[in-house]
Structure 1
Amino acid sequence: MNSKQCPTCGSANIYQESATIYRCGDCFDKLPIGGMMDSPPPKVYGTSKQKSKTDSFKNWKNLITGITVTWLVLGSTFFTYFQNFKSTLNTTTEEETVSIPVDPNLESIEIIPEGEFEYTTAIPDVLGNLYFVGKFTNSSGKSILMPKFTVSLFNESKENIKTSEGYAEKNVVNDGESVIFQVLVEDAPSYFNFDINVTATTLPNETIKPNLVLKQIDIKRTLSKELILVGKIQNKSNFTTNYTRISCLLINKQEKTVDYATVSLEKEDFLPKEVQNFELNFPRSKQVPNFYYCETDAITKENVKAN
């Protein structure tokens, strides 16, 4: 056997491990010192079966270790997520089962208030929609909150073919007070007649409203043939108001609404005794109406009073 070959496996892949030790690069057996003093060839990793088995074992070991670590991480993540989900579910369940006490002195109920409808008209637009507009006077004997108006369209067979809902321009309507309403019916079909109903929630006490007075009202026609209504509004209350607005209906000789508009004052605080100008545009009306109906509404600003 060649002195530069491994006596165990016959490999020529010999390298010097230390000053006195030579070793086979394939089977890793220690070689006799005699006859090995010549420098061995550079170290080259062999491809013997023993080396292949060792590398294969290491690869499988690393793969199994990686899979184990991955499952541990995923298991910890899923456990944490489950605990958080369970905690959230318990919290949600507890919140849903909390009972809210109802004030027995509130005495607010939903009613169909008695009242009178006036100037009710269906005004079309260019998109095929209808705006049912008019005035409702509350005569229920109670103040009502958020009156909701429901318009139902019927065909000649008295079948309901369309229903829409809308609200009044005022949130609170005291007994004997009137309010303008508007209900939009989108893509309105052809109908034979219609019906309007109103529902609202009662208020235990009458709401004190600001005393807003309209005066010097006049209707003019612009150069583009549109009608405008101009006038003045005065706050005769002893307190400041916010979100002050004016709503008006233009009415013809048949007592039908031909146009309507709403405008809010640009100035936020409307001071006591103050007077402001206002203007409403009516682009749909082509003829001067026979008369008009206007109303005001505002929110009382708290803790601000006249000197």
Structure 2
Amino acid sequence: MNSKQCPTCGSTNIYQESATVYRCGDCFDKLPTGLMVDSPPTKVYGSSKQNPSADSFKKWKNLITGIMVTWLVLGSYFFNHYQNLKSTLNTTVKEETVSIPLDANLESVEIIPEGEFQYTAAIPDVIGNVYVVGKFTNRSGQSLLMPKFTVTLFNEEKVNLKTSYGYAEKNVVNEGESVSFQVLIEEAPSYNHFDIQVTATTIPKETDKPELTLKKLDLKRNQYKEIIIVGKIQNNSNHITNFTRVTCLLINKEEKTIDYATVSLAKEDFLPKEIQNFEMIFLRAKQIPNSYYCETDAITKENAKP
């Protein structure tokens, strides 16, 4: 063997590690000192005697691993993006195709119902608004759903100054039944007169409503000199009612409304045959009115046994 070759691997890449120690640059084994005839050259790292195929395989392995990781990351991103996009498209399609089923047997139409107006008046407040208040009796021959009252203010030349609308105090008004209404006109301009029109959707047949009775109504003043109405209300129906309320109009001798108020019962469930007291305060009226008109309304509680 050549004295300058490593006895382990045969490499000639020998370098002097110290004054008495020689080492192979490829396998890093320590060489016997006696085998060295000439001093080997100082080690040059990265010698051409290293295995080039191993380095090349390692580089390709690292490159392939990096590519695979990159594809995994990009694949996960695009998959999540696709799922989100698909979910959004499905939601949009569902929203666009949702339809509200209609009962073909209802045969409801919007009409201008015949009827009678009473106690109609415009009541101003202290901040420039006007409340047009009154009573309407249904003479259309049909039950009405959500009667809508539209009020238009005119000047002397019959020019339309402002229009506003409001709804009846009852959701359903049967044939021959009366209902009060109020329409708020905000920042009402100076006007000469007003006009009222009523529209409503018809109901094919008369609706059963809770039978409520007002008793022992008394109009008087309280200790603060305010005009009040006190009385009792009885549930004569066989069902529990909710949202039970009383509405009253104060009427002067000219048959005009001078004030109005609404009160709801504090107790949520109004039981059959039960009687409750109520009190209603009127803040606008200064004098005892000539008369008053009061009505009641409620909703029958569903899934309730009497």
TM-score above 0.5:
yes
Q: CA deviation at 1:158?
A: 2.2
What is the match of residue 120 of structure 1? 120
Following superposition, the deviation at residue 121 of structure 1 comes to: 1.2
For residue 284 of structure 1, report the CA deviation from its aligned partner: 0.8
Asked whether 1:248 is paired with 2:248, we answer yes
Counterpart amino acid of 1:131? Answer: Y
1:74 shift after superposition: 6.9
**Deviation larger for 233-242 or 251-260:** 233-242
- 2:59 is matched with none
- Secondary structure of 1:224's partner? coil
Secondary structure of the corresponding residue to residue 80 of structure 1: helix
1:304 aligns with 2:305: yes
TM-aligned CA distance change 1:86 to 1:285, over 3 Å: same
| Unmatched segments (≥5 aa) in structure 1 | 1-14, 24-65
Correspondence for 1:230: 230
User: How much does 1:177 deviate?
Assistant: 0.2
- Which range is displaced more, 95-104 or 241-250? 95-104
Q: Specify the SS of the correspondent of 1:239.
A: coil
Q: Structure 1: how far apart are the matches of 2:239 and 2:101? A: 35
1:160 is matched with: 160
Corresponding residue SS for 2:240: strand
- Which residue of the partner structure matches residue 107 of structure 1? 107
SS of 2:195's equivalent? strand
CA shift, 1:98, in A, is 4.5
Q: How many residues align?
A: 265
Q: 1:91 to 1:243 in 2, by over 3 A?
A: closer
Which 10-residue stretch deviates more, 93-102 or 125-134? 93-102
Look up the equivalent residue of 1:304 and give its one-letter code. K
Q: Which amino acid aligns with 2:80?
A: T
**Which of structures 1 and 2 has the bigger CA Rg?**
2
| Residue equivalent to 1:62 | none
Measure, in 2, the Cα distance between the counterparts of 1:159 and 1:22: 113
What is the letter of the counterpart of residue 185 of structure 2?
Answer: V
Change (3 A) 1:98 1:244: closer
Relative to 1, partners in 2 of residues 1:236 and 1:97: Cα closer, same or farther, differing over 3 Å? closer
1:259 aligns with 2:259: yes
- How far did residue 268 of structure 1 move? 2.1
* TM-score, normalised by the number of residues in structure 1: 0.73
Unpaired segments ≥5 residues, structure 2: 1-16, 26-65
**1:202 aligned onto 2:234:** no
CA deviations 1:163-218 (Å, max 9, x no partner) are 11211111110000000111111111112221111111111111112221112111
Aligned to 1:63: none
Q: Deviations over 1:205-256 (max 9, x none)?
A: 1111222111211111123321111111122223332221110000111111
Structure 2 CA distance, aligned partners of 1:182 and 1:166? 6
| CA–CA distance in structure 1, aligned partners of residues 189 and 78 of structure 2 | 56
- Equivalences for residues 142-181 of structure 1 within 5 A: 142-181=142-181
Q: What residue is the counterpart of 2:84 in the other structure?
A: 84
The one-letter code sitting in structure 1 at the alignment partner of 2:107 is E
TM-score (norm 2): 0.73
Aligned equivalents of 1:287, 1:75: Cα separation in 2: 82
Counterpart for residue 139 of structure 1: 139
In 1, the alpha carbon distance for the partners of 2:75 and 2:191 equals 66
| Whole-angstrom distance in 1 between the partners of 2:131 and 2:95 | 43
Tell me: CA distance 1:86–1:115, structure 2 relative to 1, closer, same or farther (3 Å). same
SS of 1:108's equivalent in the other structure is coil
Are residues 90 and 158 of structure 1, via their aligned partners in 2, closer, same or farther at CA, if it must alter by over 3 Å? Answer: same
Matched position secondary structure for 2:92: helix
Per mean C-alpha deviation after superposition, the further-off stretch among 246-255 and 263-272 is 263-272
Alpha-carbon distance in 1 for matches of 2:117, 2:146: 17
In 2 relative to 1, CA 69–146 (structure 1 residues): closer, same or farther, beyond 3 Å? same
Give aligned-pair identity as a percent.
72
How many Å apart are 1:103 and its aligned residue? Answer: 2.4
Q: How far apart, CA to CA, are the structure 2 residues paired with 1:77 and 1:152?
A: 61
Deviations along 1:29-66, whole A, 9 cap, x unmatched? xxxxxxxxxxxxxxxxxxxxxxxxxxxxxxxxxxxxx9
- In structure 2, how many angstroms separate the alpha carbons of the residues matched to 1:176 and 1:130? 29
* SS at 2:301 equivalent: strand
